């Protein structure tokens, strides 16, 4: 089958549905690939690079759509593009069926099979490799911080220079989904003080792991809505959230909003009053501008200055990083092609028994199959039945493990005491003295070694360094008489073994500190 990659026609769209590296992999799956001339120019992929990868360059959209069995697209197809789609053809890309009912009707009339990448069941772990929403949200979150830095009037990181002190920027991120987490990591990497909030309490640890501070709303309500999205919260929660946002707006320099709920207008989180309360020169980047915006003063597609605050409402953040976005998106579609063509013969099989493929398929041979039923989740493993606890018998046997353990301990101490008694009765006095020192040395050594505090080491390294120190002291005692002028001189074998012991323990101790230094440097910027 032939896969067609057309040039995107949406205004401002610079991405392309596949890139040369991915085209090579598609050809290895048995497909032939056609690319419309100029389709990758805006993302810095030339026609020659596609030819080198093995694709055929086709002049004009009409010819490409007519020749293609499968069309890979990025943006939602226009009415003109639907007319170009072959009768009974296949279309894969962003469709948003809930928001585009007329589009669904037009595609069904073409008896097409349509796979909407935005309808992927994201809760399936094996579907993550095909999750274009996640890959594109990560790029958008990164780019949002870059756009904020572009219009912000200061450094992100704090600096102390001869010309004066520059405080670090304070960034607040509303929504800690994929885009929000990408923004947190980027802003923290640039040296800003980052705060974030989300209705889903479970993301607090993720925010902290990326270097941010999680700002909690003083209202107990869980906001997980399933599928990786948040749900609509109660009025009480929203009021408490607005109060928290109002406080943050007065303190921070940059606000990045990411809140979206599928099929609904973007919730208004930042009011005009909050914008007025922000410091002059502050920045708001509204990533939900395409759905109306999270800020009341956002103008979709534009950057405007209101009340001294720059409000960035770009809806093409992914296209502003087109090469990276296209590479990730193309890889997502390739992974989907792998699932559709497991035989690697260039023929796809839209298997409606596969939960991931069923979720993606919104139209099958002209029949609307959206929305898909909930995927079958694996059954939870059965809990092992609790074993009945036997009651202890009158003789103390057959009950719990405590009596048996106590009995073993008493027996071990009894045997040890008997051994010490025999040694004390029959052993020579000189041996007894050495044996006593040996026992005391074992006890003291154990207490010394295992009570070392691992302040700058891992616990294992602390113990080995402590043992090495004891070995070094013992070895020094063995070689000290000749070095200090004493009369007693150990055998040459013992002396050389002691010298070797000192050398090896020195390597071990200094190596421990070297490894610790390298471990600590991993956590420094």
Residue 486, pLDDT above cutoff 60: no
Reported confidence tier of residue 472, pLDDT bands at 50, 70, 90: confident
Of 297, 259, 73, 76, residue with least CA distance to 172: 259
Q: Note the pLDDT of residue 396.
A: 44
Q: Note the pLDDT of residue 224.
A: 59
Residue 225, pLDDT above cutoff 50: yes
Q: How far is CA 466 from the centre of its chain?
A: 38
Q: Note the pLDDT of residue 394.
A: 45
Percentage of the chain with pLDDT > 70? 85
pLDDT digits (tens, 9 = 90+) for 63-83: 999 999 999 999 999 999 999
Q: Note the pLDDT of residue 409.
A: 76
Average pLDDT of the residues in 307-324? 97
Please, what sign has the CA dihedral across residues 38, 39, 42, 45?
Answer: negative
Give the burial string for 439-469 (b: 16+ CB within 10 Å, else e). eeeeeeeeeebeebeeeebeeebbebbbbbb
pLDDT digits (tens, 9 = 90+) for 487-507: 555 577 777 888 888 888 888
The phi-psi region of residue 231 (left if phi > 0; otherwise alpha if psi is between -120 and 50; otherwise beta) is beta
DSSP state of 253: S
Q: Note the pLDDT of residue 347.
A: 97
Residue 358, pLDDT above cutoff 70: yes
| Lowest pLDDT segment from 6-10, 89-93, 216-220, 328-332 | 216-220
Average pLDDT of the residues in 96-114? 96
Q: Note the pLDDT of residue 370.
A: 95
Query: Counting runs of H as helices and runs of E as strands, what totals does the chain give?
Result: 16, 17
Reported confidence tier of residue 220, pLDDT bands at 50, 70, 90: confident
Q: Note the pLDDT of residue 148.
A: 98
Average pLDDT of the residues in 137-150? 97
37's tokens: 């001339």
Average pLDDT of the residues in 313-320? 96
Q: Note the pLDDT of residue 230.
A: 57
Residue 244, pLDDT above cutoff 60: yes
């Amino acid at each position: 089958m032939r896969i067609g990659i057309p040039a995107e026609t949406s205004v401002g769209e610079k991405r392309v549905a596949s890139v040369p590296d991915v085209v090579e992999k598609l050809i290895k799956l048995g497909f032939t690939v056609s690319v419309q001339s100029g389709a990758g120019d805006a993302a810095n992929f030339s026609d020659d690079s596609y030819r080198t990868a093995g694709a055929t360059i086709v002049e004009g959209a009409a010819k490409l759509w007519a020749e293609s069995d499968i069309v890979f697209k990025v943006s939602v197809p226009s009415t003109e593009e639907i007319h170009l789609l072959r009768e009974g053809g296949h279309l894969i890309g962003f469709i948003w069926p809930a928001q585009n009912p007329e589009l669904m009707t037009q595609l069904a009339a073409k008896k097409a099979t349509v796979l909407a990448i935005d309808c992927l069941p994201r809760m399936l772990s094996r579907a993550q490799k095909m999750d274009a929403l996640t890959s594109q949200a990560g790029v958008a979150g990164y780019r949002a911080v870059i756009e904020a830095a572009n219009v912000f009037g200061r450094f992100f990181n704090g600096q102390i220079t001869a010309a004066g002190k520059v405080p670090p920027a304070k960034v607040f991120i509303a929504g800690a989904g994929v885009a929000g987490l990408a923004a947190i990591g980027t802003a923290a990497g640039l040296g800003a003080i980052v705060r974030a909030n989300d209705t889903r309490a479970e993301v607090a640890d993720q925010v902290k792991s990326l270097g941010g501070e999680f700002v909690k709303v003083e209202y107990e309500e869980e906001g997980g809505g399933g599928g990786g999205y948040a749900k609509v919260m109660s009025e009480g929660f929203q009021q408490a959230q607005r109060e928290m946002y109002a406080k943050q707006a007065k303190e921070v320099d940059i606000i990045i909003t990411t809140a979206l709920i599928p099929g609904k207008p973007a919730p208004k989180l930042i009011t005009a009053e909050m914008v007025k309360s922000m410091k002059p020169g502050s920045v708001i980047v509204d990533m939900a501008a395409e759905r109306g915006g999270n800020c009341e003063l956002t103008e979709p597609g534009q950057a405007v200055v209101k009340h001294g605050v720059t409000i960035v409402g770009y809806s093409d953040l992914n296209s502003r990083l087109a090469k990276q976005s296209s590479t990730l998106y193309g890889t997502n579609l390739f992974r989907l092609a792998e699932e559709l063509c497991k035989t690697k013969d260039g023929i796809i099989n839209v298997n409606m028994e596969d939960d991931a493929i069923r979720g993606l398929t919104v139209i099958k041979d002209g029949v609307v199959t959206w929305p898909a039923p909930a995927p079958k989740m694996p059954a939870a493993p059965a809990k092992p039945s609790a074993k009945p606890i036997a009651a202890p018998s009158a003789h103390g046997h057959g009950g719990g493990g405590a009596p048996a353990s106590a009995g073993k301990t008493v027996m071990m101490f009894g045997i040890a005491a008997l051994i010490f008694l025999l040694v004390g009765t029959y052993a020579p006095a000189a041996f007894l003295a050495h044996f006593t020192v040996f026992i005391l040395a074992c006890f003291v050594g154990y207490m010394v070694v295992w009570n070392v505090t691992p302040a700058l080491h891992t616990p294992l390294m602390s113990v080995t360094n402590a043992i090495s120190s004891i070995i070094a002291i013992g070895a020094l005692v063995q070689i000290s008489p000749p070095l200090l002028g004493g009369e007693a001189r150990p055998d040459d074998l013992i002396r050389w073994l002691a010298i070797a012991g000192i050398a090896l323990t020195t390597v071990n101790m200094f190596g421990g500190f070297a490894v610790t230094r390298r471990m600590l440097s991993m956590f420094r910027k």
